[in-house]
Amino acid sequence: MTPDPLPATGAVSGVLTPALRAELAALYGQVPATACASSGECCALTDAEYAGTFATMFPVYRVEYLNLVDHVRQSFPALEGERLLQFTEERPRRCPFLSAANRCTAYAARPLICRTYGVLDRAAIDAAAQNLRGDRPAAWVDGFVRRESGMTCPRVRVLEPAKVARHVANLVDFVYERELTRLSQDLELADPERHALFARVSGDQAWPVRWTWGGFNAVRHAPLEWLRDQFDAYWEQAWLIDLG
- Smallest separation, CB 104 to ligand SF4 (Å): 3
**57: contact with ligand SF4 by CB under 6 A:** yes
**Total residues interacting with ligand SF4, rule: CB under 6 A:** 10
**60: contact with ligand SF4 by CB under 6 A:** no
- Smallest separation, CB 38 to ligand SF4 (Å): 10
- Smallest separation, CB 49 to ligand SF4 (Å): 13
Whole-number Å distance between alpha carbons of 88 and 105: 18
Question: 94-113 mask for ligand SF4 (x: CB under 6 A)?
Answer: -x-xx-----x-x---x---
104 or 190: whose CB is closer to ligand SF4? 104
**71: contact with ligand SF4 by CB under 6 A:** no
- Smallest separation, CB 74 to ligand SF4 (Å): 16
- Smallest separation, CB 127 to ligand SF4 (Å): 26
Whole-number Å distance between alpha carbons of 211 and 14: 16
41 or 204: whose CB is closer to ligand SF4? 41
Whether cis (ω within 30° of 0) applies to the bond prior to 96 is no
Of residues 95, 97, 90, the one with CA closest to residue 71: 97
C-beta of residue 228 within 8 angstroms of C-beta of residue 197: yes
Cβ-in-10-Å burial (0-12, 13-18, 19+) of 31 comes to buried
SS3 content of the chain, % helix, strand, coil (to 5): 50, 5, 40
- Residue 11: Cβ within 10 Å count: 12
The residues with which 157 forms a beta bridge, in sequence order, are 35
Contacting residues toward ligand SF4, per CB under 6 A: 43, 56-57, 95, 97-98, 104, 106, 110, 114
